[in-house]
Amino acid sequence: MTHPEIEKRKTFAIISHPDAGKTTLTEKFLLFGGAINTAGTIKRNKASQSNTSDFMEIEKQRGISVATSVMGFEYSDKRINILDTPGHKDFAEDTYRTLSAVDSVILVVDSVKGVEEQTEKLMGVCRMRNTPVIIFVNKMDREGKETFDLLDELEDKLKISICPLSWPIGQGHTFKGVYSIFNKQLNLFRPDKSKVTEPVIKVNDLDDEELTKHLNDRELSKLKDELELVEGIYGSVDKEMYLEGLSAPVFFGSAINNFGIRELLDTFINIAPSPHSREAIERDVLATEKGFSGFVFKIHANLDPNHRDRIAFLRICSGKFERNKFYYHTRLGKKLKFSNPMDFMANEKSLVEEAWPGDVVGLYDSGNFKIGDTLTEGEQLQFKGIPSFSPEIFKEVENRDPLKSKQLEKGLEQLTQEGVAQLFIQQPGNRKIVGTVGELQYEVIAFRLQHEYGAKCAFRHLNYKRSSWLTSKDKRNLNDIIQKRYHHIASDKDGNPVFLAENDWMLNLAKKDFPEVEFHTTSEFKS
């Protein structure tokens, strides 16, 4: 039987292309949940006006989310855990890892721009794990794509069947509000960036006289015609299809104006899944099991600029986590206890005595954790689905201040353990190579090295474009490629050999020359 504390948990990520309104939506959820009093105005010109979830200095300066924030609040007797993810494509890997720690997703789509490249990629990750998805079409108060065209685009590009649960009345300057198909009510649009109330008119059906007081004949007639079409094309919501990740309910609104948010939140807590099972290499782990288990999906150094702290974010998968209890670190084979585990409300932290499946706790870490590490009560488990991906850009680190070599080494090690980028060491000369999926990460690394560690560095571009982890059943084959192609070989953070290639032709040539060696594009080759 499911424990009531597990049933209460709804742990999800909000994902989108940059600028679709994801961080705004996160902020408004916190406002509706009473976790904050006023929503931060999303004007990015001053650090003081930046969002609750954007707490790293560079995020405040650049106005983009580059690290995943964790926020928890209570709403309608549920414990909501939001993982806000970086929208920027250069930080996709952080987002992929975050998606391994949630039970469902809300995908934000800009009604003006429609489905963008990053949206498609993120949806692909959700499909890999059959993660349930709800779609929120944002910015309905702006002139955008025609609603039916937008729905066709969602189905076509995201490769998922959809089911509208609300319907917009007008768009842009004619936007009057939305009609809730799910709740049979009319929500009238009044632009307001700070309040959380919106006029709601309950109706029995579309022939209710109450509607004629708020909509003119033409608007009402159009609404009836469109809803008839919606019913014919999309049918009604199938909760099982949604939970299996095959169908996505769709809502419309304007996050910046707090419009359509409450309805989205109320439906979400009604249909979104609570924690269930997680796949480990050894077996499937059920949330309802008595024994505790959890995994680290993120590490963040220096959340508090005044203290050089390092926090590992642990997603609880089963059992109950308790403060000051010893837990088994399966990779290191040793027991650890945590006297100050943290709960999060954006960058506000509070001490946790106990936590349940679906919760994310922050563990102060002195260097014991790497991303993907598993904690249990003694069982040897390793949770799956938290790989490192093959980077696309490679640059050598050049130390600009030789007196700060130690600080540079420590900073690089900690930042790459966080998953900001991947660090490779190449011999001879102990060359440090940083691999990323985007240029912006180098800016973030240089900024954080200088401001958090007092180290200055530059990056020299290398011609590598591909990296592959190498394994072989026979160690002699591995030694053979390492010796004969030493100028293409580096080691990753765990000492595993990695082949760096300038292009696909070079990579394919190496595969042909060393047929007994396997080349892997993610670090999850061990499983």
Is the pLDDT at 206 greater than 70? The verdict is yes
Q: Which of 246, 321, 316 is nearest to 286 (CA)?
A: 316
The per-residue pLDDT for 319 is: 93
Please name the residue that has the structure tokens 């993660």.
Answer: 131
Q: Can you give the C-alpha Rg of the chain in angstroms?
A: 25
Does the pLDDT of residue 294 top 90, yes or no? yes
The answer on pLDDT for 347 being more than 50 is: no
User: Which amino acid is located at 36 in the chain?
Assistant: I
286 — phi, psi (to 5°)?
-85, 145
Closest CA to 106 of 249, 240, 253: 249
* pLDDT of 41 strictly over 50: no
Q: How far apart are CA 362 and CA 412, in angstroms?
A: 22
Q: Give the relative orientation of helices 217-234 and 147-158 as an angle to the nearest 10 degrees.
A: 20
DSSP 151-173: HHHHHHHHT-EEEESEEEES-GG
Report residue 128's pLDDT band, with 50, 70 and 90 as the boundaries: confident
Angstrom CA distances, 248 to 7, 30, 145, 177, stand at 22, 23, 19, 21
The Cα–Cα gap between 127 and 333 comes to 34
Residues 15 and 26: beta-carbon distance below 8 Å: no
From the CB of residue 137, how many other CB atoms can be counted at a distance below 10 Å? 28
Average pLDDT for the chain: 82
C-alpha to C-alpha distance for 192 and 481, rounded to whole angstroms? 64
Helix boundaries (H) for 338-457:
405-418, 440-453
CB atoms within 10 A of CB 51: 23
My answer on whether omega of the bond before 428 falls inside 30° of 0, hence cis, is yes
Q: Is 477 exposed, middle or buried (0-12, 13-18, 19+ CB in 10 A)?
A: middle
User: Domains (ranges, CATH) in the chain?
Assistant: 4-273 (3.40.50.300), 278-376 (3.40.50.300), 393-526 (3.30.70.3280)
- How far from chain centre, in Å, is Cα 465? 26
Please tell me the chain's helix, strand, coil percentages from 3-state DSSP, rounded to the nearest 5.
Answer: 30, 30, 40
Q: Output the pTM of the full model.
A: 0.76
Q: Give pLDDT tens digits for 380-436.
A: 998 876 666 678 899 999 999 989 999 999 889 888 877 778 899 998 888 999 998
**pLDDT bucket at 323, cuts 50 / 70 / 90:** very high
pLDDT at 515: 93
- 134 — pLDDT class (breaks 50, 70, 90): very high
The pLDDT of residue 61 is above 80? no
pLDDT at 470: 93
Distance between CA atoms of 475 and 490, rounded to whole angstroms? 17
d(CA 486, CA 496): 14
pLDDT (tens digit per residue) in 438-474: 787 888 889 888 888 899 999 999 999 988 999 999 9
pLDDT for residue 36: 56
Q: In this predicted structure, what is the pLDDT of residue 519?
A: 92
Residue 157 pLDDT > 70 = yes
Amino acid 68: pLDDT: 46
Task: Quote the percentage of the chain above a pLDDT of 70.
Answer: 84
**pLDDT value at position 458?**
93
| H/E run at residue 275 | none
The C-alpha atoms of residue 369 and residue 357 are separated, in whole angstroms, by 20
Name the pLDDT band for 180 (thresholds 50, 70, 90).
confident
Neighbours of 12 (CB within 10 A): 24
pLDDT at 525: 59
- Sequence-distant (6+) residues with CB within 8 A of 128 are none
| Residue 160 Cα distances to 11, 131, 250, 461, angstroms | 22, 12, 12, 40
pLDDT at 43: 31
Give pLDDT, residue 337.
Answer: 93
Please report the pLDDT score of residue 16 as a whole number: 83
pLDDT confidence of residue 88: 53
| Residue type at 409 in one-letter notation | E
Q: In the predicted model, is pLDDT for residue 328 greater than 60?
A: yes
Question: Stretch 48-68: mean pLDDT, rounded?
Answer: 46
pLDDT of residue 58: 47
Q: Is the pLDDT of residue 506 over 50?
A: yes
SS (H, E, C) 99-140: HCCCCEEEEEEECCCECCHHHHHHHHHHHHCCCCEEEEEECC
In the predicted model, is pLDDT for residue 298 greater than 70? yes
Q: Which of 12-16, 53-57, 200-204, 230-234 has the lowest mean pLDDT?
A: 53-57
* CB-CB contact of 407 with 330 (8 Å): no
Q: What's at 286, amino acid-wise?
A: L
Phi and psi torsions of 336, nearest 5°: -130, 150
Report residue 133 as tokens.
């998805």
The pLDDT tens digits for 73-124 are: 888 889 889 887 765 555 566 777 888 899 999 999 998 888 888 788 788 8
Residue type, 205: D
Which position has the higher pLDDT, 350 or 14? 14
How many C-beta neighbours within 10 Å does residue 341 have? Answer: 22
